[in-house]
Amino acid sequence: MASPASITAPPRRENLLLINEMAIAWAMALAKLVFHIYTNNHYGYFVDEFDYMSCGDHLQWGYVDQPPLIPFLTHISRAVLGDSLRAIRFIPALATSLLIVQTAALTREFGGPPLCASPGAVSIAIAGMYLSNGNLLGTNCLEPNIWMGCVYCLILAIKKDDPRYWLGFGVIAGIGLEEKYSILVFVVGIVIGLLLTTQRRAFLTKWMWFRWSCGLSDLPAQSAVEHPLSTGPLLATDARHSRRRPRRGLRASSLFRAAGDDPGNR
């Protein structure tokens, strides 16, 4: 008869492999962060980065051309790190580096065997799109992290049969609305997928509707007093200032001139 130690040995060995694999993913993420910090100070400022910096100097619930999260994070980054290229591009560098860890975690939850997460993490580390995202401040830099965070909660809700994870999905999706509106397309796709499978039963749980309350509080239905952390004021601001779209070019141009790089002189 096998001893208790021999029975529990395989799970312990598998858990050790998973821990080591996540440690490798974290090490890769740190290396990628260092790489981006070292290389992202070339080629000067991109015109959209001046726009985010200008919006960050005038914080609002929203702007005619974007939600408020990236300008807000730009404001924090500049206040802490300064106005250098490395400073304003630290957040995209950090976000794209964390994608490596998120990929490893997703691979593990999808049921991949030990040591299968590392190839996925490597593919994210060297993918051209994410190398570009990590070296440029823009609304695309956080979008993959937010979508992957939603997917992670989705997988856990189904895999563990625990509807409380839908609340996490809603919170992350709500943050995504503060970053870029394209997450609405992703959420619609998830809803359709759930309705077409047996997982439609999730709509019968209270946690699913808590999820919608978290996400929908970010839509333009209420005032800033009723939902002070929502993007309702964002779209209200957009509607109020919808005739001021040419100001974006003026904002960017003024910052170009302040940096001695006026595009009108090119």
pLDDT at 238: 52
pLDDT, mean of residues 174-203: 86
**What total number of domains does the chain contain?**
2
Question: Does residue 4 sit within a domain?
Answer: no
Both 30 and 135 in a single domain? yes
Q: Do 161 and 115 share a structural domain?
A: no
Residue 169 forms part of a structural domain: yes
Asked whether residue 260 is assigned to any structural domain, the reply reads no
Together in a domain, 148 and 233: yes
Residues 75 and 173 occupy one common structural domain: no
Q: Which domain holds residue 239?
A: 142-243
The answer to whether the beta carbons of residues 104 and 118 sit under 8 Å apart is yes
- Are 190 and 123 contained in the same domain? no
Q: Are residues 193 and 171 in the same domain?
A: yes
Give residue-wise pLDDT tens across range 41-83: 888 888 888 989 988 888 888 787 788 999 999 999 999 998 8
Phi, psi for 144 (deg, rounded to 5):
-60, -35
| Residue 248 is assigned to a structural domain of this protein | no
172 and 99 share one domain: no
Same-domain pairing of 129 and 149: no
If asked whether residues 148 and 160 sit together in one domain, one would say yes
pLDDT for position 177: 87
Q: Domain end: 141, 163, 181, which one?
A: 141
Q: Are residues 133 and 180 in the same domain?
A: no
Residue 2 lies in a domain: no
Q: Do 19 and 74 reside in the same domain of the chain? A: yes
pTM of the model: 0.73
Q: Tell me if 22 is assigned to some domain.
A: yes
Most confident range, picked from 19-28, 39-48, 66-75, 159-168: 66-75
